[in-house]
Structure formats: C-alpha cells, structure tokens
Amino acid sequence: MGDFSDNIVNQRFRETYNILEKYNLIKGKSDIAKKLGTYNHVVNSILKGQRNITVDQLNRLFECFKINANYLFGLSEDLFLEEPMMNGGIPIRHINERKTIGRQNITLVPNKALAGYALNPQDNTFLDDMQKFSIPGIESNSIAFEISGDSMMPTITNGDIVVCEEVERGEPLRDNQVYVIVSDVVVAKRIQQIKKDNIFSQLRLISDNGDVYKPYDVDLQDVRQILRVKCRLTSHAIN
C-alpha cells in the first residue's frame, strides 16, 4: 500500500480537517465524508496517508467550507476565503492568522551560517535563504540555531538546535537563564547582568560545563542581539 503522507495537498487536508473539527464546523469523518460525496473509510484513508484526495472531493471542500484552494496547494497560509461561523453563529475571528497548522514560522541558522548571521543579525535577506520549519506549540516567528561544541553540556549538547525569540532592547533579562548572545560570534550561555555605577553595562557569559570553560564578560555595547531560548531540539526529543 502506497504512502501518500508527503503529498502537500493531503497534508493540508489533514490540517484543514483538524481545524474544521476543532471549531465544530464538522462532526467527525462521516460528516465531512457526506459533504465531500464519499465514504467514512475513504476520508479515514486520506487522513492516514493511504490514498490521495480527489479533485472532485477538493472542489466540494472548497465549495462547502469556503476553503482557500491556494492553502491546500501550499501557496498561501490563509485557510478560509472568508471568516467562517461556528455552530451557533459565532465568528471564528482571525483564524487565518492564529490557528493555521503547519506554518513554517521558525528559521534555522545552521552552524556553518553562524558567522554570517553574527555580521548582521537583522538582515532579513540573509534569513530568507535559510531553511524554515515549524513545531507544535510555537506559533510566533522564531529563530533556531544549531549548536556545536560541549560548553553547555549537559543542558545543550553538540548538534542540538535551540529555538529562540529575540529580546527587545530594554526588555528585562533573567540572570542564570540560557540566552543566545550575538556579538562577533553566536553563543548559547547562561547570563549574569553586571552593573557599573548602577548602570547595566556588561553580560557575564557562563558555560554549564564550568570545569572546562570559564565565565567571561562582554560589553553590552558589543552585543548585537539577545535571544531567549524557548526550547531545545535534540536527536532524541523536544525539551
């Protein structure tokens, strides 16, 4: 039996089905099957990646639920052509922006590109060329960095990826938390804020592998960007 899971249309159909069901726009597989002019087991097979959805079924989907065809073909992130109503006449506001599943909103900066990123971390043109991906639970635009070396072991190991969000200038930092600090290099470290004459002027960067790597200080004026680590991806799990 073939595996049709990699078909973008089938992937987007599964995402669409989950959203329709979540907001009570359908009552399970038998309900959507009836609207698509097919059978429960056919819908189940499509959702399991065991067959492709047909053109006729797609056309019925677009017509019945006002689905954006470009979304199904991976050309848009707007699921609905117009704001749908939940049962009872309650509008699902901004669902296109807030609830679309599978949006590739995380930009991965691999280890070989870290030096280039450090030169100008605000260069969106540079980031546009990087791989994009998404993970459940992270809906905001984020940046992920591939980490090399053992300075943060056992918290972060060689080859791990940390997913981060940028800290705005003036936003409070938390001592002893892990951040990605961008100066002339990109490093993941715990931080301690250092004040001189009651003015925050330096960051002390601390490695978890303290027996090998000693803390060092960087002037705040030399820091181009600070990013808060939201989660860590390893070869085994998401933490």
DSSP 102-151: T---EEEE-GGGHHHHHH-TT-HHHHHTSEEE--TT--S-EEEEE--SST
- Exposure class string for 76-97: b at 16+ Cβ within 10 A, else e: eeebbeeebeeeeeeebeebbe
Q: Average pLDDT of 195-200?
A: 86
pLDDT for position 185:
95
Nearest to 127 by CA among 143, 111, 138, 140: 143
Choice between 206 and 70, residue whose per-residue pLDDT is larger: 206
Nearest-angstrom CA–CA distance, 152 and 17 = 42
Nearest-angstrom CA–CA distance, 173 and 181 = 12
Nearest to 40 by CA among 29, 52, 51: 29
Domains recognised in the chain with CATH numbers: 8-98 (1.10.260.40), 106-233 (2.10.109.10)
Collapsing DSSP to helix, strand or coil, 211 comes out as: coil
pLDDT for position 236:
43
Instruction: Please check the confidence at residue 16 and state whether its pLDDT lies above 80.
Output: yes
Choice between 15 and 100, residue whose per-residue pLDDT is larger: 15
pLDDT for position 84:
61
Nearest-angstrom CA–CA distance, 188 and 197 = 27
Tokens of 227: 């990013």
Sorted by sequence, the CB contacts under 8 Å of residue 217 that are 6+ apart come out as 194, 202, 203, 204, 205
pLDDT for position 85:
56
pLDDT for position 94:
39
pLDDT in tens, 105-156: 889 999 889 999 999 898 888 888 888 887 777 778 899 999 999 999 999 9
Q: Which of 27-31, 49-53, 202-206, 234-238 has the lowest mean pLDDT?
A: 234-238
